Amino acid sequence: MAHHRRYTDADMAPRSALANVVRSLYRARVTATKPVYWWYERRLRRKVRTGGKLPKHLGLILDGNRRFAKASGLQREMGHTFGAEKAHEVLQWCLELGIPAVTIWVLSTDNTSRDPEEIAHILKLLEQEARNLATDPRIHGNRVKVRAIGQHSQFPPQVLSALQDLEQVTAHYDGMMLNIAVGYGGREEIVDAVKEYLGKQAAAGHTLEAAAQQLGPDDISAHTYTADTPEVDFIIRTSGEIRLSGFMLWQSVYSEFYFADVNWPSFRWVDFLRALRDFQGRKRRFGK
């Protein structure tokens, strides 16, 4: 496994002054317990590294941003800002452990019906983060290939441009595969996969009846957004909600699930290690 350098705060430019304030407050709050947590995290990390296989494809449902903001006395939109900060941090954890593929769910198709100001803020964050990732030394140093998956036709032009630029600048990389699921819905993905399959069958001169008779599970798998990525084998959802909400419905047929009772911006390194340790302790049967 390749060695991945752990980046410190000094290596990464701060994304916002408020984020720096929150980081400082958080560090002050945990100072008293830092020695205990340092020992526990170190022990847990050693167990994860030596305890068995890690996921080949990790799915992350980033839930609880708005609840975090409410509990912290912040404006609703700030929850998404801190959620974006956390996503950068968790990316670093995945790089350190050498997880080959990661899909993070940022915005669902259902979420797009929320308050227009909130959606505008999320899309603005998406544009900013896409441009940040395009120049992030971790992305290029670890040869991370980034792809946005979902339905994006209704996104503002500047957001589409930022996502396309990010995909283009990392398209030739052969390291981690990072899928950013935005404007994403599992049902919509399956519908798109079937449409693409039928379109190719029609282009090849096959009738609808013939295409339907030939259609099998492998044909749909080959036309999903993540067709070139291993099926997701472990899915973590934060916020305590115990449901998938449509995340990777086709690819998760044999996935293991972990539901963390913490809002996404509060998700810690030790929470991540606990989840992975839980995954390593499971015996996967794949329906047998």
Q: Which domains are seen in the chain, by residue range?
A: 54-280 (3.40.1180.10)
Residues of each annotated binding site = 63-68, 76, 80, 108-110, 114, 237, 243-245, 256
| C-alpha 221, offset from chain centre | 20
Report the pLDDT value the prediction gives residue 31, as an integer from 0 to 100. Answer: 54
Query: Which amino acid is present at 272?
Result: F
State percent of the chain over pLDDT 70: 87
| Mean pLDDT score, 277-285 | 91
Residue 114 has pLDDT above 60, yes or no: yes
Structure token pair of residue 225: 């957004």
pTM score: 0.86
CA distance from start to end of the chain: 31
Report how far residue 279's alpha carbon sits from residue 256's, in angstroms, rounded to the nearest whole number. Answer: 7
Report how far residue 116's alpha carbon sits from residue 128's, in angstroms, rounded to the nearest whole number. Answer: 18
Residues of each annotated binding site for substrate = 64-68, 76, 80, 108-110, 114, 237, 243-245
Report the pLDDT value the prediction gives residue 40, as an integer from 0 to 100. Answer: 81
Report the pLDDT value the prediction gives residue 11, as an integer from 0 to 100. Answer: 44
Instruction: Tell me the pLDDT tens digit for each residue of 58-101.
Output: 999 999 999 999 999 999 999 999 999 999 999 999 999 999 99
Structure token pair of residue 218: 């492998």
- Compute φ and ψ for 104, nearest 5 degrees: -110, 135
Residue 288 has pLDDT above 90, yes or no: no
- Compute φ and ψ for 49, nearest 5 degrees: -70, -30
Residue 14 has pLDDT above 50, yes or no: no
Torsion on CA atoms 254, 107, 101, 87, rounded to nearest 10? -120
Q: What crossing angle do the helices spanning 269-280 and 34-50 adopt, rounded to 10°? A: 30
Nearest to 148 by CA among 98, 90, 93, 103: 103
Residues of each annotated binding site for Mg(2+) = 63, 256
Report the pLDDT value the prediction gives residue 287, as an integer from 0 to 100. Answer: 72
Report the pLDDT value the prediction gives residue 9, as an integer from 0 to 100. Answer: 43
Read off the pLDDT band of 13 (50, 70, 90).
very low
| Mean pLDDT score, 1-7 | 43
Report the pLDDT value the prediction gives residue 111, as an integer from 0 to 100. Answer: 86
Kindly list the catalytic residues.
Answer: 63, 111
Residue 236 has pLDDT above 80, yes or no: yes
- Compute φ and ψ for 252, nearest 5 degrees: -100, 20
The CA-CA-CA angle for residues 97, 130, 274, to 5°, reads: 25
What is the number of other CB atoms lying within 10 angstroms of the CB of residue 196? 16
Rg (CA), the chain: 20
| Mean pLDDT score, 29-40 | 63
The residue whose two tokens read 């990777």 is 248
